[in-house]
Amino acid sequence: MPESLLAPGAVLALWTLIMLGWVAATRFPALAKSGIDLKAAPPGGRGADLETILPPQVNWKSHNYTHLLEQPTLFYAVIIFLHLSGGSTDLTRGLAWAYVILRIVHSLWQARVNRVPVRFAIFGLSTFCLLALSLLAVIATLG
Amino acid sequence: MDTNAILGPVATLALWSMVMWVWMYATRIPAMSRAKIDAAKMVGGTGKGLDDVLPQEVQWKAHNYNHLMEQPTVFYAVALALAIGGMGGGLNAQIAWAYVALRIIHSLIQVTVNRVLWRFAVFALASLALLALCLHAFMGFVLH
């Protein structure tokens, strides 16, 4: 296993762009199928406008990409705090890898099956990892 | 090589976000008073609610400010990680400058003409720049 606490962060950042690629790969064929021409799109259109136009399975990829720009931003901040304040231990590295693996599973679930109770359970577990990391970051930075 | 050179574009994009914040309010507050909305009496509204009330050109500034709180947060994380890992100089710093320049162009398109195809093209280019930084971080921290 890579020794740096920042390694799981690098994986999650890369995963985020893979999800963006998945959004593009499914959205463009869906746009073509529904007869939407980007060149003729009215000024100011946004991804969120496609919510009522494209099939939900297509939008699920985009929902997940958006989620990856929400809570994980806190994760990046916390692992950087830990890394810079001597808080990189077996425990924090394990929690950080667990967080990233759970977020990738969360993405795959949301993009494909998307049953809410399961998504919630995965999100809940990953949030506990982040909570523990946040607590350890407070201890490492104040201690 | 200055391995912290990547912090220059990081600071620039953060500052640009604050410029967009000012631009948003400089257009929103006059538009709200023209629309006879009295913020002093508002309870619980969000900026999104203004999409139905204010002219779209005014809301485009807010849309872009919101976007700057989305993908660029991954850019900040990756750029900081690269700097900490001694990889924030040379090519990575240049790619980061390209990302920031493209995001500024993206902002200017979105708040003025807001043609979707142009905006998309610039966003896609910026995303490729970010992808390159992510791959370099992955190679440096995970494969190393």
pLDDT in tens, chain A (143 residues): 688 999 999 999 999 999 999 999 999 999 999 998 888 889 999 988 999 999 999 999 999 999 999 999 999 999 999 999 999 999 999 999 999 999 999 999 999 999 999 999 999 999 999 999 999 999 999 97
What residue spans of B4-141 are helical by DSSP H? 7-34, 56-68, 71-84, 90-111, 116-138
3-class DSSP state for residue B3? coil
Contact list in B for residue A11 (CB cut-off 8 A) is: 138, 142
Task: Report the C-alpha gap between A117 and B94 in whole angstroms.
Answer: 44
Q: What is the ipTM of this complex?
A: 0.93
User: What local confidence, expressed as pLDDT, does residue B31 receive?
Assistant: 96
User: What local confidence, expressed as pLDDT, does residue B45 receive?
Assistant: 87
H or E element at residue A28: helix A6-33
Task: Report the C-alpha gap between B8 and B59 in whole angstroms.
Answer: 29
Residue from the list B56, B77, B130 with its beta carbon closest to the beta carbon of A9: B77
Question: Which amino acid is located at B9 in the chain?
Answer: P
Question: Which amino acid is located at B112 in the chain?
Answer: T
Q: What is the phi/psi pair of residue B44, to 5°?
A: 80, 10
Per residue of chain B (144 residues), give pLDDT as tens: 799 999 999 999 999 999 999 999 999 999 999 999 988 888 888 888 899 999 999 999 999 999 999 999 999 999 999 999 999 999 999 999 999 999 999 999 999 999 999 999 999 999 999 999 999 999 999 998
CA A24 to each of CA A40, A45, B103, B116: distance values in angstroms, whole numbers, following the listed order: 18, 16, 19, 15
B56–A10 C-beta distance less than 8 A: no
Task: Report the C-alpha gap between B61 and A34 in whole angstroms.
Answer: 29
Q: Global pTM?
A: 0.95
Q: What angle do CA B10, B76, B108 make, to 5 degrees?
A: 60
Min Cα–Cα distance to chain A from B41, Å: 29
Are A106 and A119 within 8 A, CB to CB?
yes
- Is domain B7-143 classified as CATH 1.20.120.550? yes
The per-residue pLDDT for range A3-30, each reduced to its tens digit, is: 899 999 999 999 999 999 999 999 999 9
User: What local confidence, expressed as pLDDT, does residue A78 receive?
Assistant: 98
Q: Is the C-alpha dihedral spanning B126, A72, A80, B144 positive or negative? A: negative
Task: Report the C-alpha gap between B75 and B13 in whole angstroms.
Answer: 10
Min Cα–Cα distance to chain A from B58, Å: 11
What percentage of chain A reaches a pLDDT higher than 70?
99
Residue from the list A13, A42, A45 with its beta carbon closest to the beta carbon of B137: A13
CATH code of the domain made up of A6-142: 1.20.120.550
User: What local confidence, expressed as pLDDT, does residue A2 receive?
Assistant: 81
Q: Does B1 reach chain A within 8 Å, measured CB to CB?
A: no
User: What local confidence, expressed as pLDDT, does residue B48 receive?
Assistant: 87
A41–B117 C-beta distance less than 8 A: yes
Task: Report the C-alpha gap between A35 and A51 in whole angstroms.
Answer: 15
Task: Report the C-alpha gap between B103 and A73 in whole angstroms.
Answer: 19
User: What local confidence, expressed as pLDDT, does residue A143 receive?
Assistant: 79
